[in-house]
């Protein structure tokens, strides 16, 4: 298995990540991931996971964090059992994307869509929100550490979540595509290459 470079995380101050209280699982997973990747290298640790159950666990945490003032529509397509993934990287990706989708939604009734598609060679995570959207001028910068769009000044945040997502995907040789309409919402499409099923 390849050894992957992780020098970017050496520039991240863990104390700056949590600008507001997080659930225990969020706090532990995000910080543990970054702490482990402040060294010069990391090796993928693939284990057999039930991806559908993992997603449901994360959804439950997000719903509890937002005191159930959120509806997460979850669609899962494909095989959910015995998928070889590195849980240390998958969890921060899911948590940060869903947390951002909820946080940057508007109004008191928050709706977020999570679609997971498992194919033979890759797994796709699609997170759709119906919130404030991302200004076109900011799209090229949203994965930069501590960068925040001008239209998010009124919302608590650190500007680190998407950096964590992008770095985890880089370690995984994964990709992320962002589509956003200002005032209508954003969609994040993640693709993660898969090893063979167990």
What residue spans define the domains of the chain? Answer: 3-193
- The single residue listed with the structure tokens 């998407």 is 162
Q: Which CATH code fits 3-193?
A: 3.30.565.10
Q: pLDDT band for position 65 (50/70/90)?
A: confident
* pTM for the whole structure: 0.75
Q: What is the pLDDT of residues 109-160, one digit of tens each?
A: 789 999 999 998 999 999 999 988 877 776 766 776 665 555 554 555 555 6
The residue that leads in pLDDT, 112 or 105, is: 112
Instruction: Answer whether 53's CB lies under 8 Å from 77's CB.
Output: no
Q: pLDDT band for position 14 (50/70/90)?
A: very low
Q: pLDDT band for position 195 (50/70/90)?
A: confident
């Amino acid at each position: 298995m390849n050894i992957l470079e992780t020098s970017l995380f050496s520039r991240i101050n863990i104390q700056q990540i949590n600008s507001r209280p997080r659930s225990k699982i969020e706090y532990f997973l995000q910080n543990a991931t970054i702490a482990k990747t402040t060294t010069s290298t990391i090796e993928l640790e693939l284990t057999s996971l039930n991806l559908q159950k993992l997603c449901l666990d994360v959804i439950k945490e997000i719903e509890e964090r937002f005191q159930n003032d959120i509806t997460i529509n979850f669609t899962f397509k494909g095989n959910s059992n015995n998928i070889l993934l590195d849980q240390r990287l998958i969890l921060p990706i899911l948590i940060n994307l869903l947390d951002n989708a909820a946080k940057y939604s508007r109004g008191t009734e928050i709706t977020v869509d999570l679609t997971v598609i498992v194919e033979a060679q890759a797994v796709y995570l699609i997170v759709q929100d119906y919130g404030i959207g991302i200004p076109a001028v900011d799209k090229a910068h949203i994965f930069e550490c501590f960068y925040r769009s001008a239209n998010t000044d009124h919302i608590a945040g650190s500007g680190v979540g998407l950096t964590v997502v992008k770095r985890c995907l880089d370690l995984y040789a994964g990709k992320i595509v962002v589509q956003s309409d200002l005032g209508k919402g954003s969609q994040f499409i993640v693709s993660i290459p898969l090893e063979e099923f167990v």
